[in-house]
């Protein structure tokens, strides 16, 4: 199994996949500060930068996993949803650093497109339907 975790070899077992997926999510959650109420627009930029960086790390960690064949498609869709959330959050950070309140308000309506969020949430439901506990919340 060590070979699979390093990117070579066969897919992970269901148990190893669930454990590694949940561990990646837990790391991301523990490294992420709540956005809350930023003290300033520049503070919001720093918070969104941190969040985008952590989403990028989570996406990379999950993309490196070799999912079992039963969830290869949902895994791909979930990782794609994270990639778009990462890009959307980075755009929020840029808008905040520029002091562009209009772009920030617009971006807060959704960091992912409705189509990508739907695909990622369908992936989340597919994990559930196949009996996989990945410990991740749906995208909004």
pLDDT tens-digit profile of 105-131?
777 766 667 777 788 888 989 999 999
User: Given this model, what pLDDT does residue 76 score?
Assistant: 93
Nearest CA among 9, 32, 11, 25 for reference residue 61: 25
Q: What's the pLDDT score for residue 102?
A: 86
Nearest to 84 by CA among 46, 45, 123, 47: 123
C-beta separation of 90 from 106 below 8 A: no
Rounded to whole angstroms, what are the CA distances from 103 to 34, 36, 72, 94, 140? 21, 19, 36, 9, 19
* Contact (CB, 8 A) for 53 and 113: no
Q: What pLDDT does residue 9 have? A: 63
Count of helix runs (H) and strand runs (E) in the chain: 6, 0
- Per-residue pLDDT reduced to its tens digit, 56-110: 999 999 999 999 999 999 999 999 888 888 888 888 889 988 888 888 877 776 6
pLDDT at position 135: 80
pLDDT in tens, 26-60: 998 888 766 667 788 888 888 888 888 998 999 99
Q: What per-residue confidence (pLDDT) applies to 138?
A: 52
pTM of the model: 0.80
């Amino acid at each position: 199994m060590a070979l699979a975790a390093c990117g070579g070899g066969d897919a992970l077992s269901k148990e190893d996949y669930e454990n590694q997926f949940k561990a990646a999510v837990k790391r991301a959650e523990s490294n992420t500060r709540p956005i809350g109420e930023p003290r300033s627009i520049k503070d919001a930029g720093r918070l969104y930068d941190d969040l985008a960086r952590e989403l990028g790390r989570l996406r990379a960690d999950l993309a490196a996993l070799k999912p079992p064949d039963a969830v290869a498609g949902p895994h791909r869709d979930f990782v794609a949803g994270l990639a778009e959330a990462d890009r959307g959050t980075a755009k929020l950070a840029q808008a905040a650093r520029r002091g562009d309140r209009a772009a920030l308000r617009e971006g807060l309506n959704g960091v992912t497109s409705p189509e990508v969020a739907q695909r990622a949430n369908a992936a989340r439901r597919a994990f559930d339907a196949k009996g996989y506990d990945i410990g991740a919340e749906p995208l909004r």
